[in-house]
């Protein structure tokens, strides 16, 4: 091997062979760095490497290399005595250089530990971080990357969990709040300034109390695995704010730690989870196992690429060539839109994903996961497979099969869209709910047929394979796209700040600006926008399935029309907690809707509605009502002009039994939705079961909460409004 001469910033301690030798044999498991008082065992998977070094860095950044001489089952391993907790390290691997064959070994490149429990420092973009010579990808670069690469950290904390217990809420009782660790508190005046934007700040009493008061039961955190900004993004002066560019699947992102990045982030994350559990809130992680921050073949060499490029990443194998024809190059297979796709069929990649998931459940006590671009991970021979290695392994795993598992049921390819197809126990983000409800309230739906299906749990997607309505995670907005306020304030995206000439982000927003593009002082338009936002929130909260709110939507957070703010780590993305511009009326509607849902099992049932009585001689469990008071007919369902629908939910009794098999009785509800431009006179159906009621939620400015109603009577339903009536 040619000796790699380190630059002055990371001068190593050398013996006459260019390496130190104080390494014991150690063991090949567990992978990563395992600390003990006697020694720290290092184990890293790199089956085709010819040589491996673990490189330790002292407080001055001086590098000491220790050669690992033992290899078993593709794992290089060795134990180094006297390594302190919090020590920083990386790997260097040597071996063949044949990029087209997936062999990219380069000892000049410092590599992060795929199993590292923490990362210190950040990535600095420089030509040295690339494994090849610029403009000549076939030639290996000898520039040392160590000055620009963050370090893995030896972690061994003594955190005391005590009697920590997960709330273990049933899916039908769950309300998810999708939020960003930093964006939630970066501007929060009731969180201590030194804790804003951190794990510690997120678990501050002001935050947990707010979430509980709103009615949330689970937080879904945008990626917290250690991630790095794409070089191209950094060159535009931006950062990857959302975090969908993970690299270290065992390490909490260090920039979110108030305590430090030498392992303190692990302890701080654990304390955050413990505090959430004490507040009765579950913690769900948005995880990005489908691709890594190393991007395409022209991306940097940071970890996986330098250890086992063709094992970790999927490739397109070119067809056989005819005699005399030049062979096509082997290329990365990309169905993530990020340059690479992790090969979840490869034994080690699959093991790493499962080990990571179990680690976050058993060691970090998280309650579930939302899998980004899950279809990319289900592929067998590059075809989406609902019996794939990963789905099968998770389904039988005694730890993982009992946590909350949410699939984003698509990837960046045409054949990856698989909404409604994931097997139990998976639930799914239901974008068809999102699109249908947006279209209904902006006046673009064709009647109310599909709207009714979505309100009742999307049985067309989930009932055929035995799943329940809660298999549908319903949402109006998410981190990707318009905020709720922008959804009712903009017809078009305004992404100029992203530096891509407004080409990025979707054009399929299904939004309506209520007459003026962007912010306005017109009081009528402002009132209409707030009512539309409240209508959307109420529809979400009263639909069968699991509601997911996006942080800040309930108080009118705006991104100024930016529907792709992934690089905006600033006030564009952060929640503004000042009361002067908050849509507090939308907050109150949301809070009321979630309270009613929580208090009444009739509004969160686990069984499908059957459209027939739950007991002999009773009323149907669900009745769809025309505004004239009669049950919807076939002709009504086929009338594309209808914009008003009533949803009667029978509470006496419910189809689902109680915990001891007893009948459960609740009050009955009538939910009216009018997305039309005209007021409607409602006729409340006369019947022998429900005679009197009251208004318990209203976006109708002329009908107050508490207004009594009588079966057979009439009442006005304002254009673009919601009324919820409860039996008295």
Pick from 294, 288, 418: nearest CA to 344:
288
**CA gap 420, 410 in Å, rounded:** 11
**CA gap 77, 47 in Å, rounded:** 12
**CA gap 313, 12 in Å, rounded:** 32
**CA gap 87, 80 in Å, rounded:** 12
Q: Are 169 and 604 in contact (CB under 8 A)?
A: no
Sign of the torsion formed by the C-alpha atoms of 546, 551, 556 and 559: negative
Q: Are 312 and 358 in contact (CB under 8 A)?
A: no
Burial 482-517 (b: 16+ CB within 10 A, else e): bbbbbbbbbeebbbebbeeebeebeeebbbbbbeee
Residue 408 is a catalytic residue: yes
Q: How far is CA 235 from CA 126, 246, 499, 569, 573, in A?
A: 10, 19, 11, 15, 20
Q: How far is CA 714 from CA 682, 708, 728, in A?
A: 5, 11, 17
Beta strands in 243-281 (DSSP E): 246-252
**CA gap 487, 613 in Å, rounded:** 39
Residues 6+ apart with CB under 8 A from 322: none
Pick from 355, 352, 362: nearest CA to 292:
352
Q: How far is CA 498 from CA 81, 102, 570, 718, in A?
A: 48, 34, 12, 40
**CA gap 712, 688 in Å, rounded:** 11
**CA gap 297, 310 in Å, rounded:** 11
Rg (CA), the chain: 28
Dihedral, CA atoms, 550, 552, 553, 558, nearest 10 degrees?
-120
Residue 63 is a catalytic residue: no
Phi, psi (deg, nearest 5) at residue 518: 85, -165
Catalytic pick from 63, 309, 372, 621?
372
Catalytic pick from 178, 408, 411, 636?
408
Per the structure block, which two tokens stand in for 116?
Answer: 């590292």
**CA gap 426, 461 in Å, rounded:** 13
Half-sphere exposure of 604 (CA within 13 A, CB side): 21
Pick from 701, 685, 728: nearest CA to 535:
701
Burial 529-540 (b: 16+ CB within 10 A, else e): bbbbbbbbbbbb
Question: How long, in residues, is the chain?
Answer: 728
Per the structure block, which two tokens stand in for 514?
Answer: 């209520």
Residue with token string 């009712």: 488
- Catalytic site positions: 372, 408
């Amino acid at each position: 091997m040619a000796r790699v001469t380190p630059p002055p910033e990371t001068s190593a301690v050398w013996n006459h062979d260019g390496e130190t030798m104080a390494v014991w044999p150690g063991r090949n498991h567990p992978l990563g760095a395992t600390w003990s008082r006697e020694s720290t065992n290092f184990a890293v998977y790199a089956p085709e490497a010819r040589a491996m070094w673990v490189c330790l860095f002292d407080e001055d950044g001086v590098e000491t290399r220790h050669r690992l001489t033992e290899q078993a089952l593709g794992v290089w391993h060795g134990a180094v005595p006297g390594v302190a907790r919090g020590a920083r390290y990386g790997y260097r691997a040597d071996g063949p250089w044949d990029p087209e064959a997936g062999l990219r070994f380069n000892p000049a490149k410092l590599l992060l530990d795929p199993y590292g429990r923490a990362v210190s420092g950040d990535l600095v973009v420089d030509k040295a971080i690339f494994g090849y010579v610029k403009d000549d990808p076939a030639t290996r670069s000898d520039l040392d990357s160590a000055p620009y690469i963050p370090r893995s950290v030896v972690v061994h904390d003594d955190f005391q969990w005590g009697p920590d217990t997960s709330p273990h809420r049933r899916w039908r009782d769950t309300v998810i709040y999708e939020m960003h660790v930093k964006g939630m508190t970066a501007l929060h005046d009731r969180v201590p300034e030194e804790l804003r934007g951190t794990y510690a700040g997120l678990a501050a009493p002001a935050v947990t109390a707010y979430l509980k008061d709103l009615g949330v039961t689970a937080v879904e955190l945008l990626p917290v695995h250690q991630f790095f900004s794409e070089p191209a993004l950094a060159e535009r002066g931006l950062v990857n704010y959302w975090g969908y560019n993970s690299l270290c699947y065992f390490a909490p992102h260090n920039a979110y730690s108030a305590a430090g990045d030498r392992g303190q982030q692990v302890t701080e994350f654990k304390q955050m989870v413990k505090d959430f559990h004490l507040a009765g809130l579950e913690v769900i992680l948005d995880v990005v196992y489908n691709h890594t921050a190393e991007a395409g073949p022209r991306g940097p060499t940071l970890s996986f690429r330098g250890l086992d490029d063709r094992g970790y990443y999927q490739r397109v194998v070119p067809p056989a060539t005819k005699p005399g024809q030049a062979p096509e190059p082997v290329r990365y297979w990309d169905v993530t839109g990020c340059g690479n796709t992790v090969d979840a069929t490869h034994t080690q990649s699959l093991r790493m994903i499962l080990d990571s998931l179990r680690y976050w459940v058993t060691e970090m006590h998280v309650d579930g996961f939302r899998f980004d671009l899950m279809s990319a991970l289900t592929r067998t021979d590059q075809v989406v497979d609902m019996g794939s290695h990963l789905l099968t392994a998770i389904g039988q795993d005694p730890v993982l099969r009992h946590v909350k598992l949410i699939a984003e049921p698509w990837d960046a390819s045409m054949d990856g869209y698989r909404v409604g197809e994931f097997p139990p126990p998976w639930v799914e983000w239901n974008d068809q709910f999102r699109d249908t409800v947006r279209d209904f309230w902006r006046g673009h739906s064709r009647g109310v047929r599909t709207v009714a299906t979505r309100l009742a749990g999307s049985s067309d997607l989930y009932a055929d394979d035995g799943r329940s309505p809660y298999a549908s995670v319903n949402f109006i907005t998410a981190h990707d796209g318009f905020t709720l306020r922008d959804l009712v304030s903009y017809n078009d995206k305004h992404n100029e700040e992203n530096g891509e000439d407004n080409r990025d982000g979707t054009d399929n927003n299904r939004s309506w600006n209520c007459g003026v593009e962007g912010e306005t002082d017109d009081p009528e338009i402002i009132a209409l926008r707030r009512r539309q936002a409240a209508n959307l929130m109420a529809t979400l909260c009263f639909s069968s399935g699991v509601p997911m709110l996006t942080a800040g939507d309930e108080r009118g957070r705006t991104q100024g029309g930016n529907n792709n703010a992934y690089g905006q780590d600033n006030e564009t993305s952060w929640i503004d907690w000042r009361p002067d511009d908050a849509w507090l009326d939308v907050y109150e509607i949301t809070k009321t809707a979630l309270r009613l849902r929580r208090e009444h099992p009739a509004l969160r049932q686990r069984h499908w509605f059957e459209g027939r009585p739950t007991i002999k001689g009773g009323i149907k469990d669900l009745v769809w009502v025309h505004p004239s008071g009669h049950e919807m007919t076939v002709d009504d369902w086929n009338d594309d002009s209808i914009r008003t629908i009533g949803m009667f939910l029978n509470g006496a009794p419910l189809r689902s039994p109680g915990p001891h098999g007893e009948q459960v009785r609740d009050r009955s509800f009538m939910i009216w939705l009018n997305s039309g431009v005209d007021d409607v006179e409602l006729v409340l159906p006369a019947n022998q079961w429900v005679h009197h009621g009251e208004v318990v939620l209203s976006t109708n400015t002329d009908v107050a909460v508490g207004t009594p109603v009588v079966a057979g009577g009439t009442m006005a339903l304002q254009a673009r409004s919601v009324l919820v009536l409860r039996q008295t």
